[in-house]
Amino acid sequence: MIIGIPKEIKTDEFRVGITPSGVRELCKRGHTLLVEANAGVGSGFFDEEYVEAGASIIATPEEVYSSSEMVMKVKEPIEVEYARLKEGQILFTYLHLAADKELTEVLCQKRITALAYETLKIGRRLPLLEPMSEIAGRMATLFGAVHLGRYNGGSGRLLGGAVGVERNRVVILGAGVAGKSAADAAAGLGAEVTMLDINTERLTYLRDVMPANVTMLYSTHDSILNSIKNADLVVGTVLLPGAKAPKLVTKEMLSDMKKGSVIVDVSIDQGGCFETSHATTHSHPTFEIDGIVHYCVANMPGMYPRTSTIALTNATMPYASMIASTPLHLLLADEVYRGALNTYNGMVTNEAVALAHGMTYKADV
């Protein structure tokens, strides 16, 4: 199969869909790789490395898209890329369609076979979301701590405190991969950490493996409200695979929070779990509402593209190889790939996406 790797053009996005090492593995399996010129530079991978691995360097994104049967990316296509998508093409990337009706409609109109990293599921795991969730979770604590600084609009509290000074409090909504990573980082800095989730099995497991300064609570409206009242940093990592994130903290609830505290919404790709959230960029990462600093960068791992690209390629490679090597009707008979499928032959094939946009859902393909 001919696989195209375009350069990512979303604001402040420096990751790339595959490393030269990943290219080499796919070429060994008989596939043709077309990489847009300078696509990997932001991640520290140069054209000559891709050529050495077996890829052809293509001058323009239009040629990459038009010549490829399958396109591998990191982020969802943005408006300027819609026209480049070729009818009937396979698209393998993060899509987050529940938060983007326009893109959903474009993929249907162009009859794109869209397979989303974030809805590919094995058991209860989301293996293609996990590496980015781990990175984003750690970043949430680190950047939350930075924005608690007075010069960044925060309360001026050092996360973890100091000798003779009380510890600061971190509340984490969601106890998945991102939530645990955020908690690990916050606990390591010495903060008092509270994690909230509705999965009691997960909370029990984390109670047994997390340090003593991490507390587990069952997530309800009241437990969230009581927790955020005294929080210095609140991290939202809630995920409903393929669906919009639930709004767990309303604008009204902000009035109960301490002025100068910080919210980090890791769930912003799926619409965010704070009612007051809207997507921001690394260039302009924060805004303030009612005295609360909001950090809502929609591509957080893009801050560390080298690490993120390598981690993502490690995760996606086996699935990309299978997609490129298997006839589509056989591929989609596998429930793993069927779960990753979001649009196919002009229809929405993910129920949560269809529900989010009031579109028709097609269960069978």
Residues with catalytic annotation?
A: 96, 269
DSSP state of 294: E
> Would you state the torsion angle of the CA atoms of residues 361, 129, 105, 63, taken in this order, to the nearest 10 degrees?
-140
> Would you state the torsion angle of the CA atoms of residues 5, 6, 12, 13, taken in this order, to the nearest 10 degrees?
-20
Which contacts qualify for 283-289: CB closer than 8 Å, 24 or more apart? Answer: 283/11, 283/12, 285/143, 286/147, 286/152, 286/153, 288/153, 289/251, 289/254
Token output for 120? 């590919």
- Return the sign of the alpha-carbon dihedral for residues 255, 221, 138, 267: negative
Are residues 91 and 4 in contact, defined by beta-carbon separation less than 8 angstroms?
A: no
| 222, burial (CB in 10 Å: exposed 0-12, middle 13-18, buried 19+) | exposed
Write down the residue that tokens 């690990």 correspond to.
184
Q: Please give the Cα distance from 84 to 65 (Å, whole number).
A: 6
Bridge partners of residue 91, in order along the sequence: 71, 114
| 136, burial (CB in 10 Å: exposed 0-12, middle 13-18, buried 19+) | buried
For the chain, the helix, strand and coil percentages under 3-state DSSP, each to the nearest 5: 40, 20, 40
DSSP state of 243: S
| 327, burial (CB in 10 Å: exposed 0-12, middle 13-18, buried 19+) | exposed
DSSP state of 291: T
Element (H, E) at 57: strand 56-58
Are residues 349 and 343 in contact, defined by beta-carbon separation less than 8 angstroms?
A: yes
